[in-house]
Amino acid sequence: MTISIDLVLFALIVGFALITSAVRDLIRAALSLAVISAVLSIVIFRLGAPYAAAFELSVAAGLITVLFISAISLINPDKEAMKESVMITAGLPIATVAFGALLWFGKKYLPVLSFMESPHTAPIRETLWNLRSLDLVGQILIILTGVFLVILFFKEKRS
Amino acid sequence: MIALLIAIPVAAALIVPFLRKQAHIVFFAMTLLLAAVAAYVALHGFAVLNAMPPWPMFFTLTADKFSILMIVLIAIVALVTAFASLSFTNDYTYYALASLAIAGMNGIMLVNDIFTLYVFIEVASLATFALIAFNRNVEGFEAAFKYIILSTVATTFILLGIFILYGITGGVSFAEISVGVKRPESVKPGLFCLMLLAAGFLVKSGFVPFHTWVPDAYGASPNPISITLAGIITKAVGLYALIRIAVTVIGVTPAISMIMLVIGIITAVTGAVLAINQPDGKRMLAYSSISQMGYIVLGIFSGNPIGVVGGVFHLFNHAILKSLLFINMASLESSTKSRELEKYSGIGEKMPVTSGTFAVGSLSIAGIPPLNGFFSKLFILIGLFAAKQTAIGVLATLASVLTLWYFLVFQRKVIFGKASEAVASVREAPLTYIIPAVLLAAISIVTGIGFSPTISAFIAPAADVLMNAASDATSAGVLP
Amino acid sequence: MIFYAAALLIFIGLYVLVFSRNMIRMLIAVEVLVKGLTLTLFGVSQATKSQGLGQALFITMLVIEVIAAVAILAFIVHTYRLTKSIDVRTLSRLKG
């Protein structure tokens, strides 16, 4: 197994996922999540999806991190940093390694997926507007839902 | 025309922030309009909308007979919810979220694409999450949190199934997936994806062992929302999607049918057992709903035409009957300020209309002829025995007896007991609860006595869609 | 391979979701799950040579997940204001 850059990137992602799950301080957890997103965006770029990589970087590593940190700050982080249970701090790495080994050595039992070449080879700007227009309607609906939900939760409670 | 089914609720959601004092009227008007459109679509029997220039978008919406049945159910339950909400709240966020949930559900019925299906399911789930927590008490928060976390796990399974299907078939639309999974090397992975998708959809519908969120959510949500939740939401986002994907897109093998039957019977029995001795009325109805969803699955996957008709009929009946029962619970709670069944004893003489409609609803679910619940359950049981599933048929009959038992106990205790002092000062429920209750009871009596015309006109065509899955998908003309 | 990493991420996400009591940590676990799904999606879109469709699906999925994260965060902040805790067990304890 040669050490390729892909392997390094994947190892970073999984490693930081473990860190984000076990670290005690919530702000450090949010920042680890941002690191995962940044490395993931590099991986996505290497997989031939440059626009999606840009999206991932700006939205996941940027927007979501800011959201998390705002929320965590609203919650008074010093008082609320909870130590995770033993199942996670110790159990998670062990379980992950066990699962990884299970996948690696059980490779021959897994079904072989034969991927089919897709006819949708048009670049993203055409696919998004021509093929997936209804998804965009759905996006508008979900944004509206989110807006009303946030209004609901942040209103002053009237009797 | 069918785009109106999504456009009308969205318009209502956009209007209510500007008409805050009349939000409940706007919503009520919207449900009336929606019912009219649904009736129009139902009369035509089939609809396809191909959006092309001069619209800036390209998409196709399709409504086949099974979708139309669901659309009509959504419209009915939405109207009932609008009635019940009139006396509940004036809050525009409530109505906006309810409208968006309805828009999402209608969207689910009209898509031709599994990924767009996921998008609309998420819209409905997110709106439901907000509505469960609407009362903003601790009970509501716990219920909402359980719901959203389980819903997110379900979404993960669904997306995983979608992406693997995308890989092995090269596309995401129903037509491409149907064709792709029939390739010999893709049959097994296709079935694996079906199991992943089924896991996700079953969580969203509240099947055992993923049912833990249901009693909390049904109990803690505001009364009108319990009606919507029990009546249509769990069916639309979970069960309908499962049936659509399993039967008409991927196709079920006998092995898969067997697994579904086992899940169905476990759910039916567990729900019935847990409903016994529940002190809280809404939680009892929640467990009963879980049980009845199991029945619907037993019918649809029985592999027998009578069973499938029974399953679809039970889907229809349960939407009507559970909405009816939850409206009665809302009436009882608004008059007695309590949800404890013990406190209701002897309320029959004080609240005649509520008790009457409640009797119709619970007798029908318990399976007493000539009400509609009897016929749907009968057909499901006949279908199971005809398909040689004797063990499951016997268990289903047992669960039916259990259902009969706890609903009769419920009735005897609550309505026909001696009036206790607690109910001395109780009056009948307001008109906003009475009108829909009478309406739903009337529907269940009419579809019960007239079950034959109901089935041949309305239910059997929907069931045919499921029986002739393959030919229907291609004749609908929805190839990309 | 990509799918190994994706499977590991999904496993980590589910594991933390099951065993954590901290509501924010549970949301972080959900985000990790989404990253696993993202990897799966791009692995598949590269294998089927349809990066246009893959990116289009990704963008929609991302919008939905961001709104869901916003929704859950708003919910957590609101719950905290009511119960002064982000521990899930507090919610069940108070119900009684």
pLDDT digits (tens, 9 = 90+) for B461-471: 777 777 765 33
Give yes or no for residue B347 having a pLDDT over 80: no
Full residue range of the structural domain in which residue A137 is found:
121-159
| Nearest CB to A114; choose among B100, B130, B186 | B186
- Both A60 and A29 in one domain: the answer is yes
The CA distance from A18 to C58, in Å, is 24
Q: Are A145 and B105 in contact (CB under 8 A)?
A: no
A111 against A153, higher pLDDT: A153
Task: Return the structure tokens found at B95.
Answer: 């109505």
- Both A88 and A156 in one domain: the answer is no
Provide, as residue numbers in chain A, all residues whose Cβ is less than 8 Å from the Cβ of B6. Answer: 137
Query: What whole-number percentage of chain B has pLDDT above 70?
Result: 94
Full residue range of the structural domain in which residue C52 is found:
2-95
Contact between chains at B122 and A142 (C-beta distance less than 8 A):
yes
Contact between chains at C88 and B139 (C-beta distance less than 8 A):
no
Q: Residue ranges of the alpha helices (H) in B170-253?
A: 174-180, 187-205, 213-220, 223-228, 234, 241-243
Give yes or no for residue A85 having a pLDDT over 50: yes
Q: How many structural domains are present in chain C? A: 1
The CA distance from C40 to C44, in Å, is 6
Give yes or no for residue C65 having a pLDDT over 90: yes
- Both A26 and A76 in one domain: the answer is yes
Instruction: Confirm whether the ipTM is greater than 0.90.
Output: yes
Q: Say if B85 falls within a structural domain.
A: no
Q: How many structural domains are present in chain B? A: 1
- Both A65 and A131 in one domain: the answer is no
Query: What whole-number percentage of chain A has pLDDT above 90?
Result: 42
Q: Is the dihedral of CA B195, B196, B202, B207 positive or negative?
A: positive
Give yes or no for residue B173 having a pLDDT over 50: yes
Contact between chains at C58 and A14 (C-beta distance less than 8 A):
no
CA-angle at C37, arms to C32 and C40, nearest 5°: 130
Give yes or no for residue A121 having a pLDDT over 80: no
Question: What is the structure's pLDDT at B242?
Answer: 92
The CA distance from B304 to A156, in Å, is 55
Enter the pTM of the model: 0.92
Question: What is the structure's pLDDT at B53?
Answer: 59
Question: What is the structure's pLDDT at B88?
Answer: 85
Band of residue A83 on the pLDDT scale cut at 50, 70, 90: low
Question: By C-alpha distance, which of B36, B101, B72 is closest to B312?
Answer: B72
Contact between chains at C94 and B138 (C-beta distance less than 8 A):
yes
Provide, as residue numbers in chain A, all residues whose Cβ is less than 8 Å from the Cβ of C60. Answer: 132, 135-136, 138-139
CA-angle at C40, arms to A135 and B159, nearest 5°: 45
Question: What is the structure's pLDDT at B24?
Answer: 87
Q: Say if A24 falls within a structural domain.
A: yes
Question: What is the structure's pLDDT at B419?
Answer: 65
Band of residue B56 on the pLDDT scale cut at 50, 70, 90: low
Band of residue A81 on the pLDDT scale cut at 50, 70, 90: low
Give yes or no for residue B46 having a pLDDT over 80: no
The CA distance from B13 to A144, in Å, is 9
Full residue range of the structural domain in which residue B434 is found:
272-469
Instruction: Report the Cα B321 to chain-centroid distance in Å.
Output: 11
**Mutate which of C18, C30, C62, C93 to disrupt the B interface (most B C-beta within 10 Å)?**
C30
Interface of B with C in 132-171 (CB under 8 A): 133, 136, 138-139, 141-142, 144-145, 148-149, 152-153, 156, 159-160, 163-164, 166-167, 170-171
Give yes or no for residue B252 having a pLDDT over 80: no
Give yes or no for residue C86 having a pLDDT over 70: yes
Q: Say if B428 falls within a structural domain.
A: yes
- Residue A126 sits at the chain C interface (C-beta within 8 Å): yes
Alpha carbon of C96: minimum distance to chain A alpha carbons (Å): 23
Least confident segment among A46-60, B328-342, C41-55: B328-342
Band of residue A86 on the pLDDT scale cut at 50, 70, 90: low
**Mutate which of B111, B129, B141 to disrupt the C interface (most C C-beta within 10 Å)?**
B141
What is the per-residue pLDDT across B405-452, written as a single tens digit (0 to 9) for each? 888 887 777 777 666 666 666 777 778 888 888 889 998 888 888 888
Band of residue B128 on the pLDDT scale cut at 50, 70, 90: very high
Mean pLDDT over all residues of chain B? 85
Contact between chains at B149 and C26 (C-beta distance less than 8 A):
yes
What is the per-residue pLDDT across C17-35, written as a single tens digit (0 to 9) for each? 988 888 899 999 999 999 9
Band of residue B479 on the pLDDT scale cut at 50, 70, 90: very low
> Under 8 Å CB-to-CB from A34, ≥6 apart: which residues?
A60, A61, A62, A64, A65
Q: What is the CATH number of the domain that holds C85?
A: 1.10.287.3510
**Mutate which of A63, A84, A88, A102 to disrupt the C interface (most C C-beta within 10 Å)?**
A88
Contact between chains at C75 and B144 (C-beta distance less than 8 A):
yes
Question: What is the structure's pLDDT at B326?
Answer: 92
- Both A9 and A55 in one domain: the answer is yes
Q: Say if B439 falls within a structural domain.
A: yes
Q: Say if B421 falls within a structural domain.
A: yes
Provide, as residue numbers in chain A, all residues whose Cβ is less than 8 Å from the Cβ of C4. Answer: 10, 100, 103-104
- Both A146 and A84 in one domain: the answer is no
Question: What is the structure's pLDDT at A152?
Answer: 92
| Nearest CB to A116; choose among B120, B133, B170 | B170
Q: Is the dihedral of CA A59, A61, A62, A65 positive or negative?
A: positive
Provide, as residue numbers in chain C, all residues whose Cβ is less than 8 Å from the Cβ of B139. Answer: 95
